[in-house]
Structure formats: C-alpha cells, structure tokens
Amino acid sequence: MRDTYEFPEEQPGAARTAGLRRLSRLTWRATQLSAVTAVGFATLFARTAPAHTVASDTTAASTAKTSPSAPAPSSSSPRKARHPKRVRAIATVSAQAAAPAPQAAAQASQKATPAPSKSANLAPPSTAPAPAPSTSSASAPAPTPTVSSTSHGGG
C-alpha cells in the first residue's frame, strides 16, 4: 500500500494549452457541421421548393395583358416566384404555329416540347362563322356538314 500519492507537477500553462487545443477542435467541427448543414438545406430547398407554377404565372399574365375594353375573367393576385430562373410561361399550343414535322402524330406527341409561351387571353378566330349558303342556290349539292354538338356516342 502506498503511503503517499505524488503526482508530477504540471507544467505551467499546460492546462491552458490543452483547453485551447480542445476549443480549436470544437470550433473546427462546428464549422464543418455548419457547412454540411448549409449544403443539405440548399439541396433540400432546390429539390422541394416548387418551380414557379404555370397556374400562378397564367394569372399574372392575364392581369397584365387584359385589354381595358375586354372584360376578361377577373384574376387573383399572382404568387411571387421563388425561383425566377425557372419561370417559364406556357401557352395553349396553336396548331398552326406549332405544326409538328410531317411524321407520325404519335412520334410528334412524344417528342414535342411544351411551348414556352402562353396565351394571355382567349383568342377569336380570324373570321367569324358565316351563314351557310342556301343549298338550293348552289350549283352542286352542298356536302353534308360535320356536326358540332356536345360529346356523344360514336356512330
């Protein structure tokens, strides 16, 4: 059994140096953790934050381009885009303007890219429907008209 327990005398300033070293390590770890967290949040935000929606963009355009003489549908306040770089307008595809190449329609369908522009309002035709000429006055029998009615069965 030992009578005395003698401990070597600490070097002056050793405890202070060790504390500083520990503090330095902690600071470095905290910096690393912050960096990783920041990258993680940025990635999460980029993945989950919705792109500027078509819906809200449509409303915005409607509001901006409505002619004062045209009682266009009233619109709600548009939501602000959170990702301006992704803002893309969409349009109803005008068949003539966006006529696909003369290939099978199915192929055109699969390859078509949504048009990057959209309508500000519903557009009228170039010419309004005209009355059909009387069949009795025509030199030849008029062809049977194709019918526009509500959706119904084939036949």
Partner 1 sequence: MPSAATTIAARTFPALGTFATVLVADPDALDVAHDLLAAELDAVDAACSRFRADSELWRLNHARGRPVRVSPLFAEALAVALDAAGLTDGDVDLTCGQSLVRLGYDRDFGQARRHTSPLRQPPMPAGGWRRVRLDLERLEVRIPAGVWLDLGATAKALAADRAAAAIWAATGCGVLVNLGGDLRVAGDPPDGGWRVGIADDADFDASTASIEPRQVVVINDGGLATSSPLGRAWRRGGADLHHIIDPSTGQPARSCWRTASVAAASCVHANIASTAAILRAERAIGWLDGLRLPARLVRHDGTVVTVAGWPADGPETAPAN
- Residues numbered 21-40 forming contacts with partner 1, rule: CB under 8 A: none
81 binds partner 1 per the rule CB under 8 A: no
DSSP reduced 3-state for 117: coil
Q: How many residues does the chain have?
A: 155
- For residues 42 to 71, the per-residue mask of contacts with partner 1, x marking binding by CB under 8 A and - elsewhere, is --------xx-xxxx-xx-xx------xxx
**Alpha-carbon distance values, 142 to 43, 131, 133 (Å):** 65, 13, 9
Q: Name which of 11 and 110 has its Cβ closer to partner 1.
A: 110
101 binds partner 1 per the rule CB under 8 A: yes
148 binds partner 1 per the rule CB under 8 A: yes
Name the burial class of residue 108, with classes exposed (0-12), middle (13-18) and buried (19+) by CB atoms within 10 angstroms of its CB: middle
84 binds partner 1 per the rule CB under 8 A: no
102 binds partner 1 per the rule CB under 8 A: yes
Least CB distance to partner 1 at residue 43 (A)? 15
Name the burial class of residue 79, with classes exposed (0-12), middle (13-18) and buried (19+) by CB atoms within 10 angstroms of its CB: middle
11 binds partner 1 per the rule CB under 8 A: no
- For residues 118 to 137, the per-residue mask of contacts with partner 1, x marking binding by CB under 8 A and - elsewhere, is xx-xxxxxxxxxxxxxxx--
Exposure of 74 in the CB half-sphere (CA atoms within 13 A): 1
14 binds partner 1 per the rule CB under 8 A: no
Tokens 């099978």 appear where?
A: 104
Query: Which position among 74, 77, 80, 84 is part of the footprint of partner 1 (CB under 8 A)?
Result: 74
